[in-house]
Amino acid sequence: MARAWRPWLFSMPFINPLVAKRVFSLPHVLRPFLALIIAALWLSAPAAKAANDSFSTVELLAGFEKTVFGLEYRSWSWRPYQVKKFTKPVQFYVYNLSRRDRRGTVHRFVKEIGRRVGGLTTQITNDPAAANFKVYVVDRAQYVPVVRKDIYKNDRAKVPGRCLVRVVSGRKGIKQSAAVIVSDEGEFLFKRCLVEEILQGLGPMNDDESLTHSVFNDSSRHSRFTVFDQLIMNMLYDPRIKPGMSQEQTKDILPLVVRDARRRVR
């Protein structure tokens, strides 16, 4: 009977094996009692922090300020220091110009955004004329020509970055976005560019090196939709946050928006 709880004691994640061995060095009659005390301490220990509670309200407010109220390329958007977001369903169309067909990966990420961000509807369309967010998947040799022809519409334009997104916005929200994603320089760069450029094309257009848990930081190594970025996106697409709002106009409601974003992100 005493042997029955021996493997259970060793299996507890917080028990040092040396401590467990010392339990078994005690007189036989004391071992079950000590094991019960350890079990009680284990069961009463506080639960680990949920992912959505890993960041303080101050951190999230700062992250929102740094990503939403700014623009990596300032000449590309209407009033860069005001809120930019879609107010209608976002219809994506993917031009796969790369030798490798990446449409399935792009479609899955678009659907993931729609599942994880409240207040935002994302859809895939087969009609490029119906799309308000176009994604060009290219090989590196195609990058500059595609950006000049389809994004800038200027054959002499200087083309920055490894990948790129451009947003056209106005008083009523974002009108059109277009992202160019490089496919043939490794999986990390492809996935990193896919996540960062599509998310930025939905509104939070600025990068900041202090955001270590975010793709909105050119120095970070994230290539997925992180919990931090899910919280920022849920804050942005809260219905209380309107296109054209200034930082001052959002200040009073943002703490409530943070609270509600935590409830949506699990």
pLDDT reading at 23 higher than 70: no
User: Higher confidence at residue 69 or residue 9?
Assistant: 69
In tens, the pLDDT along 71-99 reads 655 444 456 689 999 999 999 999 999 99
Instruction: Give 44 or 100, the one with higher predicted confidence.
Output: 100
* Same domain (yes/no): 40, 132: no
pLDDT score of 136: 98
List the structure tokens of 101: 């067909």
Both structure tokens of 18: 């040396």
The tokens describing 247, both together, are 């930082």
Q: Which domain holds residue 24?
A: 13-44
Are residues 127 and 25 both part of a single domain? no
Same domain, yes or no: 37 and 95: no
Helix (H) or strand (E) holding 14: none
C-alpha–C-alpha distance, residues 139 and 181, integer Å:
8
User: Do residues 114 and 197 share a domain?
Assistant: yes
Cut 0.75: pTM above it? yes
Four-residue CA torsion sign, 231, 233, 236, 238: negative
Cα distances (Å, whole numbers) of residue 96 to 20, 72, 108, 122: 58, 26, 15, 19
Q: How many domains does the chain have?
A: 2
**Lookup result for tokens 């190594």:** 221
Place of tokens 């010392």: 22
| Average pLDDT of the residues of the chain | 85
Q: Which whole-number Å values give the CA distances from 210 to 82, 132, 262, in the listed order?
A: 21, 31, 21
Q: Is the pLDDT of residue 50 over 60?
A: no
Read off the pLDDT of each residue in 231-256 and give the average, rounded to a whole number. 96
Mean pLDDT of 21-38: 58
pLDDT at 11 over 50: no
Q: Which residues of 210-247 are buried (b: 16+ CB within 10 A; e: fewer)?
A: ebebbbbbeebebbebbbbbbbbbbbbbbeebebbbee
Tell me the pLDDT tens digit for each residue of 94-119.
999 999 999 999 999 999 999 999 99
Residue range 123-137, pLDDT digits in tens: 999 999 999 999 999
Are 89 and 136 in the same domain?
Answer: yes
- pLDDT score, position 218: 80
For 60-68, what is the mean pLDDT? 95
pLDDT for residue 7 is more than 80: no
33 pLDDT exceeds 70? no
Q: How sure is the predictor about 10, in pLDDT bands with cuts at 50, 70 and 90?
A: very low
Asked whether residue 74 falls in the same domain as residue 25, the answer is no
Assigned domain for 5 exists: no
Section 185-199 average pLDDT: 96
Cβ atoms of residues 224 and 195 within 8 Å: yes
Q: Is the pLDDT of residue 171 over 90?
A: no
Q: Any idea what the CATH number is for the domain that residue 242 is in? A: 3.40.390.10
